[in-house]
Amino acid sequence: MSKIGKLPVTIPQGVSVEIMESEVKVSGPKGSLSVRLPKKIDVEKKEGQLIVTTQKVSKQGRSNYGSTRAHIANAVKGVAEGFKKQLELVGTGFRAEVSGSTLTMLVGFSHPVVFEAPEGIGFTVEKLIISVEGANKEQVGQIAANIRAVRPPEPYKGKGIKYVDEIIRRKAGKAAKTVTGGAGA
């Protein structure tokens, strides 16, 4: 059995959970999410906790068991606290601004790059740090990855869009030629 799947999911104050046949609906102060349940996976609510169980002990059943529990835990945490990814703009003249739900970035192209925030996602910009926030962990991560893909950091000077905690492996540039008084002199 999965070590992750065995752990119960604690339901915090202000979060309500509704268990249906094929999905679990979670709602809280940050919004509401639903998690689809695979076949042969059951969820029950006991004493303020959600317990995930599996009916079938096969390789696929064990995989679904652990990942379903993780998706439910992410949904509960997302509607209670929310998720946040931060990106940093590194480069001369690089800047970003937010107006409403639109993120506009100037990152060295001849045109500005515009991102529209989908439902449930918010952008904030402080100096050169872009924050992507929302209740759905998967969606927040994907939007942040899409923003980073516009101008990934290059290995020589480190210019581009990177995650705040990301470490860029730098390469040495061209080495200067040395002049030697060898056989041809």
pLDDT tens, position by position, for the chain (185 residues)? 568 888 899 999 999 999 988 899 999 999 999 999 998 888 999 988 999 988 877 888 878 888 999 999 999 999 999 999 999 999 999 999 999 999 999 999 999 999 999 999 999 999 999 999 999 999 999 999 999 999 999 999 989 999 999 998 989 888 767 777 656 55
Q: Which two tokens stand for residue 168?
A: 């860029």
DSSP assignment letter at 154: P
Contacts of 182 (CB under 8 A, 6+ apart): none
Q: Is 142 exposed, middle or buried (0-12, 13-18, 19+ CB in 10 A)?
A: middle
Give the domain 83-163 fold.
Answer: Outer Surface Protein A; domain 3 (3.90.930)
Q: What does DSSP assign to residue 3?
A: H
Q: Where are the alpha helices (DSSP H) in the chain?
A: 3-6, 59-80, 137-150
Domain with CATH 3.90.930.12 in the chain: 3-80, 83-163
CATH domain 3-80 topology:
Outer Surface Protein A; domain 3 (3.90.930)
